Amino acid sequence: MSGPNFGTWRTYAQAREANLLMIPEKEGISPVQAATVSVNPSTAYRMLNDFAGLEPGDYFVQNAANSGVGRSAIQIGRLWGLKSINIVRDRPGIQKLKEELRSLGGTEVITEAEAKDRRSMAKMTGGQPVKLALNCVGGESATNLARILGRDGHLVTYGAMSKLPFSVPASALIFKNIHCHGFWISAWSKGNETAKTQMIMDILGWIRDGKFRDIPYEITKWSEATGLETLMEPVKRGISEYSGRKGIFLMEDD
């Protein structure tokens, strides 16, 4: 779709040609990749591109770095020559997760507790200011992102996984002049059809060239014969704390 969304829960749909986005080169692109490219990868692309004027060698920081947007930001950042500080919650198997995110191109991968150590953070960047922070969590985690940002930095909120509000220290606003923004890809897509098309073609090109790895996902086939419990299981896993995969329903024609 060339617009922000198309609704869901359907096997067939009728649409106007003008509202569809054609992928000229389908080879090397799976249906799942085509169906999901306009969500997580696109959100990461826009936030890295639109807010802080980042240039190769610049640092950005993000929480929920193992999320779909987080993994996308790591990879797009790598392709654009950016350095990333990636914050995740401590959990069982944390070292394995750190290695996985580094393999995607993450410069640094640390826990929420490690991110609160200001001396360690300054040493990590060699004193270089962090220009952009991507917030998907809110609460104390988001407040800490504001503290990590350098002067004239930008804090962009695109999610609220903790469901908690956050405060920005007055010192960060007064003495560092940080800027706070909200971002929603669906709203951005309205009126930005040309830019969206170019963005999606960029991302699909990276996928086709093997430069962008899929976000972990699991497919559940949905047909007339599928039982309710079969459909509910991936939903339950998707909202659990450590699900680790995006759930995708594949509507089948019986």
Domain chopping of the chain, boundaries: 40-186, 217-251
Q: Is 218:236 a contact under the CB 8 Å cutoff?
A: no
Q: What is the pLDDT of residues 155-204, one digit of tens each?
A: 999 999 999 999 999 999 999 999 999 999 999 998 899 999 999 999 99
- The CATH class given to the 40-186 domain equals alpha beta
Whole-model pTM over 0.85: yes
Q: Is 57:194 a contact under the CB 8 Å cutoff?
A: no
230 vs 177 pLDDT, higher one: 177
Q: Would you state the pLDDT for residue 93?
A: 93
Which token pair is 109?
């991968």
Virtual torsion, Cα 11, 17, 20, 24, nearest 10 deg: 110
d(CA 177, CA 170): 10
